[in-house]
Structure formats: structure tokens, C-alpha cells
Amino acid sequence: MSGRSFPGWTGPPPAGVVVDLDDTIYPQATYLRGAVSEVGRAAQAAGLDGEAVCRALRSEIHAGSDRNGTIDRALARCAVPPDQAAKITPVLVRAFVGYRPERLPLYEDAGAALAALRTRYPLACLTDGNPVIQRAKLAATGIVDAVDLVVITDELGGRARRKPHPAGLLRIADRFGVRAEDLVVIGDRPSKDIAAAVAVGARSIRVGTGEYAAAGDLPPATVSVPNLVTAASLLCSLVQGPEVRRAPAPQSAR
């Protein structure tokens, strides 16, 4: 697929490929924009200034989109009295969690990159987060149909199983009938995706897309590339064609 070389990449082709979802396959900012608007509408309906709540929420998300208590802090920023905030927060959380985008566009050519990978390797998507939200994103991106297996870490035992916990990769290795250290992980976050790969002794490819593109390289990935398309080029160049693909195990986690 590609004649380029990738310094630092050595060893045989992986036995399976694991791809992160948010900011690796599609830009999560698109989802967050829609979810924030949904919260703004709910806030307006509850008698608050919906625009002000949206602005406050955007600021909180900008400081880190996966922190707890984002909506509480946004209401505090809007000087909503604590007793009123206590009543409204659950309503706004429901609006956020209940947001169902019809479609979330992938990064350019990401769909073709996944399709190319899937002709050569068992392909899984490993993602963290509230399963209701992650399922909505999976549906809107069409990823459920683009991979052999989807694993949402929270469904393996709650937040404690989120990356860098190795549980997700171990589950995928088990379903694919391969060793976890023979997988390769493609992801955007060193402290999650790359660290999870390190935890099982697997190789990793960091992509420089999304919210964490400027984060430090800790732990370092096996190689870093600009995006998923380049990562797929690297992996596809390791094997001649579809005939080497191994059949994945049953997809009971989809």
C-alpha cells in the first residue's frame, strides 16, 4: 500500500489491530459541539440562560473533555445557586448522555483506511466512556460495521477498566485467539492508548489528531504518525494482501 519506511517499526506483522475511537477515527469535537447544544436547550427549557450555559460548558470541556463534574462546574461558572444547580444538573446530564447524533463524519479517508486494515488483519475498536454515549458515537460513525469487534472498557467492569487498564486488550486478544502482545494499538492518547499497549507488551502507533495532539510522548509509542490513514499504510505495507488475514473469533461483544 505504501513504499514509505517507518523508522522505529520492527518485527513481524501484528496478529490483530486495535483502533481507538475518539480523536483517532473521527474528531470528537464534532460530537461534543452537538452534545453541548443539547445541554443548552435543556438549560433554556429549565429557565436558565442556555447560551451562557453552553459557553461555560465549552470552557470546561476545553480544559479536558473526560473529567467528571463538567456540568456542575459549568453551572457554578454561570453563578447558578447550589440548590437550583442540584435540581437542574441531573436534567442536563440526561440531555448530554441522551444526545444521539445522526451522523458523525470520520477523518478524511479513515473509512477506507479501516477497510484496508480489515482485509489484512482482525480489526477491533477499543473505546472508553459511558457505554450509552459510546454506543451513540459508534452508531453515528458506522464503526460497528467497519470492524470485527467493538469493546467498550466500561462494560468490562466500570471506569476502573478504562485504558490504560489492560482488560480491553486482553478481551480482544482472547476473542481473536491471539496473544495480547501480538496486537498493535492505534490511538491518539499516550496516557491511555499507548500506555494500554505498553501494559500488555504490544506495539503501538500514535496518531497526531484531536484534543491530545500536543500532549507529551509519555509513554512513547513504537512509532508516531500524522493520522489513521498513515498508520493503516504502515500496517498494510507489512503484508502482501488479504490472504494472510486470520478469521476473527465470534463477535459476541458487538
Shortest separation between residue 246's beta carbon and Mg ion, angstroms: 26
Shortest separation between residue 181's beta carbon and Mg ion, angstroms: 22
Query: Which among 2, 33, 253 is positioned nearest to 140, based on CA atoms?
Result: 33
| Cα→Cα distances 16→116, 132, 155, 166, 222, Å | 13, 26, 21, 16, 16
Pick from 22, 60, 154, 182 the residue near Mg ion by CB under 5 A.
22
Residues 151-190 that bind Mg ion (CB under 5 A): 188
Shortest separation between residue 23's beta carbon and Mg ion, angstroms: 4
Shortest separation between residue 218's beta carbon and Mg ion, angstroms: 16
Give the strand pairing for 123-127 and 149-152: parallel
Report DSSP letters for 98-116, one per residue: T---S--PPSTTHHHHHHH
By C-beta, is 33 or 245 nearer to Mg ion? Answer: 33
Query: Which among 127, 136, 109 is positioned nearest to 32, based on CA atoms?
Result: 136
Pick from 15, 16, 20, 48 the residue near Mg ion by CB under 5 A.
20
* Burial grade of 155 (CB within 10 A; 0-12, 13-18, 19 or more): middle
Q: How far apart are the first and last CA of the chain?
A: 29
Give the C-alpha separation, 201 to 204, whole Å.
Answer: 10
Q: Applying CB under 5 A, does 23 fall inside the site for Mg ion?
A: yes
Shortest separation between residue 24's beta carbon and Mg ion, angstroms: 5
Contact region with Mg ion (CB under 5 A), list: 17-25, 75-83, 85-93, 245-253? 17-25
By C-beta, is 95 or 141 nearer to Mg ion? Answer: 141
By C-beta, is 80 or 185 nearer to Mg ion? Answer: 185
Contact region with Mg ion (CB under 5 A), list: 12-20, 86-94, 105-113, 242-250? 12-20
Which residues have a Cβ under 8 Å from the Cβ of 229 and sit 6 or more positions away?
A: 107, 108, 109, 110, 112, 113
By C-beta, is 25 or 235 nearer to Mg ion? Answer: 25
Shortest separation between residue 185's beta carbon and Mg ion, angstroms: 11
Which residues of this protein are in contact with Mg ion, per CB under 5 A? 20, 22-23, 188
